Amino acid sequence: SKALDLDEPVRATDNDAALARLSAVRKGYLVDPFIIHFVPRAHLQPPRPPLINIGTYIRGTGLDELVESFIGLATGQGKKAQIVSLGAGSDTRFWRLHAGTSREHLACYIELDFPENTTRKAMAVRKSKVLSAALGRSEDIQIGDGGTSLHSSIYRLLPLDLRLPPSVSLAPKLAPILDPSSPLLILCECVLAYVASAASDAVLRWFADFSSSNDGVTGVIIYEMFGLEDSFGRVMKNNLKSRHVELPGAEPYNSLDSLRQRFFRLGFEEARALTLRDFRRTHISVTEQMRIARIEMLDEVEELELVLQHYAISWGIKLSAKQANAWLEW
């Protein structure tokens, strides 16, 4: 029954993500004309504190850059990229890519989440002319599986529990629709920490194995809290605990190196990891930093640094056997 639904607090973390994004957009940190369509009564939602807005801005900017860069890699090979987003929630990335120059370099975009969340998203897409226009003619958009899935030629929304073994969840859903000869990017933005490591490892390994059977490349981008063993990390964990959200998958990752090792352990060949704090220093231009600093007054400068130090973007890549051979014979 609903009262005993232990997954509800985890599904509800998507509301926080969407409200933070809406707030950052309204204040002028980010540009995203689509988020408003995913937040009920968007005009009544109060802004989030500056610290959240800035964090949302840095996270969004960093992941956008990495995604665009993967699409560039695919384009360089003369191919279109396929993107699969795990625990996509109310993410608007598909619509933002589709509205920009990446549109013609995108083969398909697939979003997975719990059925309650995919149902809500499918309804929002159907209700909004702006969102559904990106998916083509209305007769080409199909709602299926009792309202929990949505299919169009370029975009799909599929219900799936990431805790299930990939052989019964990912394989039957994705193997028939992914093109084994095109580059594939897996996006995991704030989702793997909610899943026990054994289960999320199995998911990532399934994607790594998928690329040995194809002649493309598979890239994975993971964004997550990490290093939660120190005192500030414990505060962050307790915050979530008070809202009945556990992080079983965050435990093993206490350093950037442990985040990189995850990729090697699961069959990927190259990996990088960066804290949001480092990303801000090294990837955001001085002009942009000055623009951000002028938007709102931030009192908690030290707290911001601590928060940014506890979030990491890590990314890894696996080449297919065929490509690896070409590389070795170089």
- Distance CA(83)–CA(95), nearest Å, equals 13
Q: Residue 169 CB: number of other CB atoms within 10 A?
A: 21
Nearest distance from C-beta of residue 245 to ligand SAM, angstroms: 9
Instruction: Report the residue number, 108 or 195, with the smaller CB distance to ligand SAM.
Output: 195
String of b and e for 297-322 (b: at least 16 CB within 10 Å)?
eeeeeeebebbbbbbbbbbbbbbbee
Minimum Å gap between C-beta 77 and ligand SAM is 27
Do the beta carbons of residue 159 and residue 118 sit within 8 Å?
yes
User: Which helix (H) or strand (E) element contains residue 54?
Assistant: helix 50-76
Closer of 39 and 106 to ligand SAM (Cβ):
39
Cβ proximity to ligand SAM: between 14 and 32 the closer is 14
The residue with its CB nearest to ligand SAM is 87
Distance CA 91, CA 84 (A): 12
Closest CA to 321 of 190, 169, 217: 217
CA distance 226 to 256: 8
Closest to ligand SAM by CB, 32 or 113: 113
Of 157 and 256, CB closest to ligand SAM: 157
CB of 113 to ligand SAM, least distance (A): 4
Question: Rounded to the nearest whole angstrom, what is the least distance from the CB of residue 322 to ligand SAM in the complex?
Answer: 32
Please, what is the minimum distance in Å from the beta carbon of residue 28 to ligand SAM? 19
Which residues contact ligand SAM (rule: CB under 6 A)?
10-11, 13-14, 17, 87-89, 91, 113-114, 117, 160-163, 189-191, 194-195
